[in-house]
Amino acid sequence: MRHGCQTAIASRSLERVQAAAEKLKIATGQHCLPLKADVRQPQTIIAAVEETLSKFGKIDILINSAAGNFLSPASGLSFNAFRTVLDIDTMGTFNTSKVLYQKWFKDHGGVIVNITATLSYRGQALQVHSGSAKAAIEAMTKHLAVEWGPDDIRINSLAPGPVSGTEGFRKLGGLTADAAEHFKMIPLQRVGNKTEIAHGVLYLVSPAASYVTGTTLVADGGHWLTAANNPAAMLISSKM
């Protein structure tokens, strides 16, 4: 990716994206456009995309990372709880991709990276909501890669494993699991960090991946191949 690229970040909270933009400026010197949008509400995405296009003149890359998650057995999920996670993760990814396609990518090409998870690969306990949502996104990635490839649009997913210093790690009990050396069973013997996930995304959006579309890059140190699927331990560790 060339230097001097511009970034827009959107979430439901303008304060949170302003804080993220400030961090990015300190780390890279780049200005970042903070935007308020709820991926469940297409009108707010349309407004965010229009503002980005009016400020930047074009959009090259879309990263779909919005997600909601918590630990819960299927029996403890209300209908609305399951729907809420699918609305944010799956509908959100579709809504944002469709708006970008219609407003810019259809005529100019582009690259999309969808952030997923390995949860469905082995039917992770306490995660039917998030696992189902992310599995649907990986299917969507393939469908859209086929339909939009002729428009010079590449679409891939990136599935991280447990990543330190993140909200997901905190919510899913990663802090206590880490302290209990639970992650020693990962082939690479440790959890990942944000930079390692960013490097995976950077590869997928870069010309180095110019012939890569419709696939999922798993960046998890081999975690899903060896992770224990133990709901009791997960619930205890998340409450410790």
Residues that bind ligand NDP (CB under 6 A): 11-13, 16, 37-40, 65-68, 88, 92, 115, 117, 160, 162-163, 166-169
Spatial neighbors of 155 by CB under 8 A, at least 6 apart, are 97, 111, 112, 113, 114, 141, 144, 145, 148, 213, 214
User: Looking at 136-144, 150-158, 169-177, 198-206, which segment touches ligand LHBTZVTM (CB under 6 A)?
Assistant: 169-177
CA distance 100 to 8: 13
Residue 60 or 196 with smaller CB distance to ligand NDP: 196
Cα 59 to the chain's mean position, in Å?
Answer: 18
Q: Which of 195, 193, 124 lies closest to 163, judged by CA?
A: 193
Q: Which residue has the tokens 């302290």?
A: 179
Least distance from ligand LHBTZVTM to the Cβ atom of residue 198, Å: 16
Restricting to residues 212-231, name those near ligand LHBTZVTM by CB under 6 A. Answer: 227
Least distance from ligand NDP to the Cβ atom of residue 126, Å: 14
Residue from 6, 7, 65, 84 binding ligand LHBTZVTM (CB under 6 A): 84
**CA angle at 70 for the pair 66 and 74, rounded to the nearest 5°:** 120
Binding flag, residue 126, ligand LHBTZVTM (CB under 6 A): no
Residue from 34, 110, 162, 192 binding ligand LHBTZVTM (CB under 6 A): 162
Least distance from ligand LHBTZVTM to the Cβ atom of residue 8, Å: 20
Residue 104 DSSP one-character state:
I
**CA angle at 190 for the pair 226 and 169, rounded to the nearest 5°:** 90
Restricting to residues 19-38, name those near ligand LHBTZVTM by CB under 6 A. Answer: none
Spatial contact of 176 and 204, defined as CB atoms under 8 Å apart: no
**How many chain residues bind ligand LHBTZVTM (CB under 6 A)?**
29
Return residues touching ligand LHBTZVTM (CB under 6 A): 67-70, 72, 76-78, 80-81, 84-85, 117-119, 124, 130, 161-162, 167-169, 171-174, 177, 227, 234
